[in-house]
Structure 1
């Protein structure tokens, strides 16, 4: 039988969100999923990116590792997990542009019933992690996704993360996600896979 298919579509500038994405992928694979890990692309050119130290180099390095997500990836997936840093308390324009580009699939009803979940990171403490994740819930509802939060269904949730999704605070990019935050992200991958299994009938999936 086919494995549950999980697409992780994320944007990351300084690798914190990338590390969460990789942990989500690890959890999903552990639970029996087939995973596609994709990084959405910048909306600005190299001249703009060069004004922010490290942005262009990091983007080039990550884009060499990850393909850009496509409509075909979305149609393939049983579950879609979005990941984003916070921009003024909300989703990045890069990830939002990708979501906005799914109108054709939405119009055809091809997104209805797919599992949806979110994770993210901020630079500063109280910098908008929860508001950012919640801001993505609205477009997921419009797309017809079955939104899967984390609640407190795993012991890892009592040490890190939020009930809305895995998170991290980088403190001006001086910290990378620690073991507790990565554990939450792995749980998120397992939980999404479990729900995709329940909704789409893939018997090989392992319960989270």
Structure 2
């Protein structure tokens, strides 16, 4: 049986969203999925990037490690998982720029029926982790994706990590990495997304 194909398209500045993306990839691969991890590119002015400690170094490291997502990746995938840090309770402009680039595929109907899911990270508690994930549901609906939230179908969800809308973590002002519970929720999200995509593919 052909493996389902999962695209994880994310933006990360300090590594928190990246860590969740990697855990989602692990979960999807545990379900037998083929995974593409892609980091969208920064587009703010270089002087802004250089003014924030660690931003340039993290950018350069992640650019070397991950390709940028493309429309070809989205067309290839059976499932697309979008990840973003929270920006004032909303999705980052970097990730949204990738979404906005998918207009041609949307117009051709080539994304209809694919699975979609969302995850995010915030720097403060109640900093918009739920609203950011839900915001991504909006554009997934417009793209024609079948949205897969997490619900409470795994024990990891009852340990106070993540949200029923998607995995998340809180980094604080010291860039604390996701906890093991946060990562376990993300792995569950990868498994769940890949499983739903496989079931939908088998039904076609």
Tell me which interval the TM-score lies in, with the shorter structure as reference length. over 0.9
CA distances 1:81-106 after superposition (whole Å, capped 9, x unpaired): 00000000000000000000100000
Measured after TM superposition, the shift of residue 47 of structure 1 is 2.0
Where does residue 193 of structure 1 map in the other structure? 194
In 2: Cα distance, 1:173 partner to 1:165 partner: 23
Structure 2 residue runs without a partner (length 5+): none
Aligned residues: 202
- 1:127 pairs with 2:161: no
Where does residue 82 of structure 2 map in the other structure? 82
Measured after TM superposition, the shift of residue 107 of structure 1 is 0.3
What is the DSSP-based 3-state SS (H/G/I as helix, E as strand, rest coil) of the residue aligned with 2:8? strand
Where does 1:49-60 land on structure 2 (aligned, <5 Å)?
A: 49-60=49-60
Where does 1:159-178 land on structure 2 (aligned, <5 Å)?
A: 159=159, 160-178=161-179
In 1: Cα distance, 2:45 partner to 2:66 partner: 19
CA distances 1:129-158 after superposition (whole Å, capped 9, x unpaired): 001111111010000000000000000000
In 2: Cα distance, 1:153 partner to 1:173 partner: 32
**Inter-CA distance 102–173: structure 2 relative to 1 (3 Å threshold):** farther
CA distances 1:108-148 after superposition (whole Å, capped 9, x unpaired): 00000000000000001111100111111101000000000
- 1:158 pairs with 2:151: no
In 1: Cα distance, 2:76 partner to 2:125 partner: 36
Where does residue 41 of structure 1 map in the other structure? 41
In 2: Cα distance, 1:147 partner to 1:78 partner: 12
Where does residue 10 of structure 1 map in the other structure? 10
Alignment check: 8 A CA contact 1:14 1:173 kept: no
In 1: Cα distance, 2:113 partner to 2:128 partner: 28
Structure 1 residue runs without a partner (length 5+): 203-208
What is the DSSP-based 3-state SS (H/G/I as helix, E as strand, rest coil) of the residue aligned with 1:201? helix
- 1:142 pairs with 2:138: no
What is the DSSP-based 3-state SS (H/G/I as helix, E as strand, rest coil) of the residue aligned with 1:184? helix
In 2: Cα distance, 1:59 partner to 1:174 partner: 15
In 2: Cα distance, 1:128 partner to 1:193 partner: 26
Measured after TM superposition, the shift of residue 43 of structure 1 is 1.4
Show structure 1 runs of 4+ deviating over 6 A: none
What is the DSSP-based 3-state SS (H/G/I as helix, E as strand, rest coil) of the residue aligned with 2:91? coil
Measured after TM superposition, the shift of residue 22 of structure 1 is 0.1
Where does residue 72 of structure 1 map in the other structure? 72
Alignment check: 8 A CA contact 1:79 1:114 kept: yes
TM-score (norm 2): 0.97
TM-score (norm 1): 0.95
Alignment check: 8 A CA contact 2:16 2:175 kept: no
